Structure formats: structure tokens, C-alpha cells
Amino acid sequence: MALAGSKTAPDIAGPGSAEVDVIVQYADVPGEAHHRRAAGKGARLKKRMDQGNSALYSIRRADVAALEADADIVYISPDRPVRAFLDYAQPTVGAAIAKSYGWTGKGVGVAVIDSGIWRHPDLNGSDLMSNIVYSEDFTALGSANDYFGHGTHVTGVLAGNGAIGTSVGAFKTFLGVAQDVNIVNLRVLDSKGSGSDSAVIAAIDRAIALKSTYNIRVINLSLGRPVYEGHSKDPLCQAVARAWKAGIVVVAAAGNYGRNNLSGNSGYATITSPGNHPLVITVGAVKTMGTASRVDDVIASYSSKGPTLGDGTIKPDLVAPGNRLIAASSTSGTLQQEAPGNYVDRSYFMTGLSGPSIWYFRLSGTSMAAPMVSGAAALLLQKTPSLTPDQVKARLMKTATKSFPASSTAVDPPTGQTFVSQHDIFTVGAGHLDVWGALNNTDLTPATNGAARSPQAVYDSKSKKVTPVTSSSAIWGADSIWSNSAIWGAQILSGSSAIWGASAIWGASTTKGFSAIWGAADLSGSSAIWGAAGTGGTSAIWGATTPATGVLLLGEN
């Protein structure tokens, strides 16, 4: 944020002789003249990205300043790395009731942009024919199969039909939220769970292009990266905005950095991109506590919290089960090879048998919570195909349950470290996903694009309070039906546990105070949260101290 107003992203700096891949956003679709001018500045064209008025170039860092001088260029950012974010869940959110009434997402297309999908028997819909209708690889590895093991699990949470359990007479099956959706498999992550902005953007644009062919109404993004600039400049955010405006609901994982306290921020302001965009549905993770009731559910301590860095947008939008979820497993995934203890023992779902089953795997993270919401969106669109993305988002948020405790405590088993989580608006958003409640809601927001845009949090330094402020086109606060308290609930907005209390991160006792979120000059912008200065760059989040994949393999935390 210290470089606000510059046309070059703050994280592009480095040795002048080193080459870097950059995404260059132009005011209009760049033509050959633009590419020739860029070449004259030392840039080599790698990929045209016309849907976003952009192009991917390779250039020496020392030459970026000369490239920026082109008056037609709006913004230059690195081609940043993105990562994946890592049995009672389905009935907990009310999906089992929805299925009993015939709502299974049939006919609705969902694009899963992830590490690919292995053709697991559980992904064959109710007619036992594969519901993976299209696959494409954006990693240049030549296959859309899942060699990481993340995309298959995400798709199982979204659309698993429990076929393996049924075929062996198991007393328990593992069902997804919307078993009959048409799955569009767009692979952007490699066998280690890594990808790039440009690959994700290309996949999003492909989903938009295929929308009519496969009735793609939902995109699931269980991946992300740190925020380096506001959403209006971030090329990944611009891509999800294009999809939203094209009539596709975009669901993004909030991120797994709720324990990050590098700048004394207690995990606040760690929402990742593109979940920081105000239009998309950003999803945090809760623990089901091993019951089918939502009453005892609490936030997972690793779930990233808002507001968004720099923009101050209130996120996440809602939360869903994401801890230790059981779903379809890839038989050749890196995750499965590195964490075989996460295979589900057959005794858990079969009588008289024991030993690990290669068919099912446990994973934790907001990656697992996001497809639950994507599945819910598909059910709403099956029932009422005319709903716009904003109307889907508004119904899901308004009907979310809000019966959380004031706070909860989790202990990390390996380290014994204790984490206390407040259940405020920046932690649980509008509340806990309630599929059945959303299906029974008939309220309609205006069809205007952006009607359910997530509001900004505005801080009053005198009263030390934060209030949600909406744009003139947004519905929140407009009337009693869509008022702030109707969406978020009084307890989450202004209860005694709210984070704008005197001892919280906004308050007088905090050393960094308000600047810890908004990145004042003394904090060097986003580095205050992600540790870019003094901690070895982004290694504070993605490096040796955290799993190389960015996927959390957690216990009950």
C-alpha cells in the first residue's frame, strides 16, 4: 500500500538482472503495436490474455520501470504463485434434507479450478455415469488428472455420491452436497499443489467461454495467495469479477492463516486473493465437533479472518464445515503419499473390516469448506435457474445460522499452543451455511450486478468502533429485509466479544492498532501481515515453516 498510485506492484522489486514473468494490464485489449513497444523495452511475450486486457511477458526487473512508461499500461504485477488451501458435514449444513426433496444440482455446471480430478467411482452421479463433462490442463503437464490429491477431495466434498460405500454394503457413506452437478475439471496446480496467477486466470476465462456449453453457473476456487494490492488492481481479482459479471457464482476459500500473528494482528487481515474481492463468496471453515448439529460448531482456528488487507472489505462472507472432512481420494496424489495416516480406516464405515482404505481421505482447511458452499449454490440454481450470482450470495448469507459462542479455544496437539478465536463478523461472516434454509428463502435482491457486494469496514478512532458501510448499489442496510443486523446478526456485529472492543486489535492496548490492518507506512504495507520484510520474503507464509504445499493437514483445531 506504500506504493499506492504506482503502476508497478510492490512485490516486483529484486535484482535488476533477474528475469520475472509479469502480467501487464492495458486500458484496452493489447494489439501487435503494444507487444512491439513492450519488446522494445526488453519484454518477451509469453501469452495473450485478451479477456482481461492483459498479456504475460518475461522481462528483466531492471527494465520494468521503462515498460511502465507506456501510457496504455494500467498496472504491472508478477505472475504470482497460487497454492491449494487445505462425515458429519453434509447433514450438518442441511444438504441431506435437500437431497430427499430431489435437489442434487442436476443440470448445473460447476467449474472446479484446482489440481485436477481423478475419476473416482464416487464422482459418477446418481446415474452412475461420470459427471465430469470436460477436462483441461493449464499446467503444461499434458494431463488433467490429479497428481496432488487436492482437487479430487474438493470435488468429492462438492459432488461425491458415496458409490464405494454403497457397493460394499457400508453402514456409512460419504456424500457431497450436490451429487448430480456437471463437473468441469480445469487443472491449474501441479503435483505439489503449486500454480500461477496466469494459469488460474486462463482457467477462469475458459469457464466463462464454456458457460453456455455446460451451463456453468458456479466456479470453485479452493486456492489463493497473499494480497499485494487492492482488488481493483489485482489481476486474479479482475478475472473473478469477469466471471461474476458473466453470471457465474464464484466461491473462494478464505485461506488458512487465522493463526498468523506476525504483526500482532491475531490472524486478522489474512484473507487471501481472490477471496478478497467484494463480489465473490468467500468461505471460512468451522469444526463440526463430530455431530450433525450446527449448535456446537465453532470456527477452526486456522481459518483466515478479515477485513481484507488494504481494502478493508468485510470477509469471510460465511463459514462451512472444513475440518477433517472425509471425501474421495486420488490413488496417486502427493498428499496421499506424504500423509498416509489421513486415509480413512475401513472400520469407520464398514463392518468387520479394518485397515486404511485408499478410496477415502481426510483433509482440513477452507479448501474443504468452499465446495460445500459451491454445492449449495448449485442446488439454489437447480431450483431457481433465474437467480443471479448476487441473489445466490444474498440468500446464502441471510439464511446462514448465527448461533455461535462468544469465543472458542483450540489446542494444537503437536505443539501444545493455544489459540483463542472470537466469533465476530471478521471471523464467521454472516454465519454458518444452512442449505435447507437457503432453498426455502424466496427473498430477491435487485438483479443489479454488485447488489450483494461485501461492505467495507470503517473504523472510528475516537469511539474505537467499526461499522459496515455499503456502496449505494448494495442492498445491505437498505431496509428491514436486507439490513445489516438481518444479514450478520446483532451478536456477530456488536456483541461483547466483537473485535472492536477496547482490548482487541483496534483498541488502545494494541501496539500497532488500526495500522496493523491497513498497512501504514511504518509497517511497509502488506509486509506487516505476510512478513515480506525481515523474514525472508513470503517464506513467512509459504516457506519452510509451513507445509510446502500450503495445504493444512490438521487435527481437531
Which residues are catalytic, by number?
A: 114, 150, 367
Cα(62)–Cα(17) distance, rounded to whole angstroms?
A: 6
Reported for 513-521, long-range contacts at CB under 8 A and 24+ positions apart, including other chains, are 514/459, 514/461, 516/263, 516/264, 516/265, 516/268, 516/269, 517/265, 517/268, 517/269, 517/307, 517/309, 517/312, 518/1, 518/309, 518/310, 518/312, 519/1, 519/2, 519/309, 519/310, 521/2
Classify burial at 386, counting beta carbons within 10 Å of its beta carbon; exposed 0-12, middle 13-18, buried 19 or more: exposed
C-alpha distances out from residue 555 to 32, 300, 324, 341, 364, Å: 53, 10, 7, 11, 8
The backbone torsions φ and ψ at residue 89, rounded to the nearest 5 degrees and listed phi first, read -65, -45
Are 50 and 22 in contact by the 8 Å Cβ rule? The answer is no
Buried/exposed 124-151: b ≥16 CB within 10 Å, e otherwise: bbeeeeebbbbbbbbbeeeebbbbbbbb
Peptide bond into 316 cis (omega under 30): yes
Residues in CB range of 505: below 8 A, 6 or more apart: 264, 265, 266, 268, 499, 512, 513, 516, 517
Of 441, 203, 474, 462, nearest to 313 (Cα)? Answer: 474
* CB neighbours of residue 6 within 10 Å: 14
Determine the Cα–Cα distance for residues 344 and 324; give it in Å rounded to an integer.
10
Q: What φ, ψ does residue 209 adopt, rounded to 5°?
A: -65, -30
List phi, psi (to 5°) of 18: -75, 140
| Spatial separation of the C-alpha atoms in residues 267 and 258, rounded to whole Å | 4
CB atoms within 10 A of CB 517: 27
What residues are paired with 285 via a beta bridge? 320
Torsion region of 423: left, alpha or beta (phi above 0 gives left; psi -120 to 50 gives alpha): beta
Structure-block grid coordinates of residue 111 = 467449474
CA atoms within 13 A on the CB side of 84: 36
The answer to whether 492 touches 484, Cβ cutoff 8 Å, is no
Residue 208 belongs to what H/E stretch?
helix 197-209
- 157 φ/ψ angles, rounded to the nearest 5 degrees: -65, -40
Type of residue at 318:
L
Hey, what's the cell of 165?
A: 460405500
- The whole-angstrom separation of Cα 409 and Cα 417 is 10
